[in-house]
Amino acid sequence: MASPARQLKDVETANPPSIVVAKPVSETLVDNTLRMIAEQSGKGYYDIIREIVALGFGPGRVSFRDYVKLRLFDDQYYAACDKKTVVGQRRNRDISVAVNYRIDWYAMLENKIASICYLGGFGLPVIPFELVYGENLEFKTPRVARNAAELRAFLTDVRNFPLFGKPVEAFQSLGSIALRRYDAQSGQLQRTDGSTIALDDFITDITTNYAQGYLFQKLASPHPVMRDLCGDRLATTRIVTIATEAGPKVFRASLKIPAGTNSADNFWRTGNLLAQLDIATGEIKRVITGAGIDLLQVTHHPDTGKALVGATVPNWDRMLATALAGARVMQHFSMIGWDVAALDSGAVIVEMNETPDLSLHQIAEGRGVLEPEFLAFMEYQERQAKAHERRMRADISKL
């Protein structure tokens, strides 16, 4: 049973959607949460509240929700760092906006068609799209479906499978689905976990929720080593690159591991795992599941039974090189979170994010990000942003 701190308000419907279009809403019950924190940490209520206030007014602007989610009450978990180096969600957003000041480029990362085409055009390894659905588009091409009928034609052609579908503009894998095949006799689509959904229901969900854009890609197969560890689904490495005076650099890296019935590896999905990585080697140092009061450290994958701790992500050097090459192409952004997957052929960029969730790395490593290297990066980008603003003002004055 989930703890009171993580009770979920689930929306019950007679016909639940075939795809998850919104994250469950979590409710933090303060009194019960404080009681459980006191039990787990051995701290008194006064000490807990004093720490929450101190971190809230500190450089990381840690909220109560952040304090719980990141398990900051656990002194042993954060023994290797000063907790004031940990940033909360709000501070994470503010940092991203400050260092990624080229707002004219945001749409490139937010639109998956644009980002796939842009990166692929520069020779970077991406997964090309097979079809884009958009209601009432003007021109019909082999890779465009303009209505439900054309979408149905694509999904009933067995030659198109297996597929991975996701919205053109979305985040954290909302609206995504991995499809193994279509069974014409039953009119059912089979997910990669073996479950099935009615084709009609799936089409209705797409046309209702994503009329402005939904794309399908061929379902990529992971490197055999990763398949053995995690099953036949992509476990992507979140690699954060930062732009320094010496050029792009890898700042942090964590491995997102799908488990259970999840085809997407986002850590917010129940049952999924998150691993701390050695950046130099790609070795898995620690694996966790859950967050806050419910956080658990594990050593083996719950589905395959294979040991995760001590295993090494294959093609590691190639994955780092791919992220750095992407950072050089996307030079307009100073900090990018790259989702890179290991394939038998090397590495592939699954997505890039202009506001990478730094809490993934903080909770995986038990270490904050506001360390000297990152602070120097922020100061450098502040100077760069001011110089860019001066150039823009000068250009405007010439008009």
Nearest CA among 252, 182, 192 for reference residue 222:
192
Q: What is the mean pLDDT of residues 317-339?
A: 97
Rounded CA gap, 177 and 95, in Å? 31
Would you list the DSSP string of 149-167? HHHHHHHT-GGG-SEEEEE
DSSP alpha helix (H) spans, the chain: 30-41, 45-56, 64-69, 89-99, 106-110, 112-121, 148-155, 199-209, 224-230, 316-329, 359-365, 372-397
Joined together, the tokens standing for residue 275 give: 């691993």
Would you list the DSSP string of 297-330? EESB-TTT--B-TT-B-TTHHHHHHHHHHHHHHT
- β-bridge partners, 347: 342
Backbone angles phi, psi at 348, to 5 degrees: -140, 140
97-125+223-368 CATH: 3.30.470.20
Mean pLDDT, the chain, as a whole number?
Answer: 91
Rounded CA gap, 206 and 374, in Å? 41
Backbone angles phi, psi at 353, to 5 degrees: -130, 130
Q: What is the mean pLDDT of residues 54-83?
A: 96
Query: How many Cβ atoms from other residues are within 10 Å of residue 343's Cβ?
Result: 21
Rounded CA gap, 26 and 291, in Å? 12
pLDDT of residue 193: 84
CB 221 within 8 A of CB 228: no
Q: What is the mean pLDDT of residues 158-167?
A: 94
In this model, does residue 360 exceed pLDDT 70? yes
β-pairing, 144-145 vs 129-133, is parallel
pTM, 2 dp: 0.89
Joined together, the tokens standing for residue 294 give: 């419910």
Q: Indicate the pLDDT class of residue 26, thresholds 50, 70 and 90.
A: low
Q: What is the mean pLDDT of residues 251-265?
A: 92
Residue with tokens 């940092």: 95
Give the rounded percent of residues in the chain with a pLDDT score beyond 70.
93
β-pairing, 335-343 vs 346-353, is antiparallel
Report the chain's terminal Cα–Cα distance, integer Å: 64
Q: What is the mean pLDDT of residues 38-66?
A: 95
pLDDT of residue 263: 81
What are the domain boundaries of the chain?
4-95, 97-125+223-368, 129-218
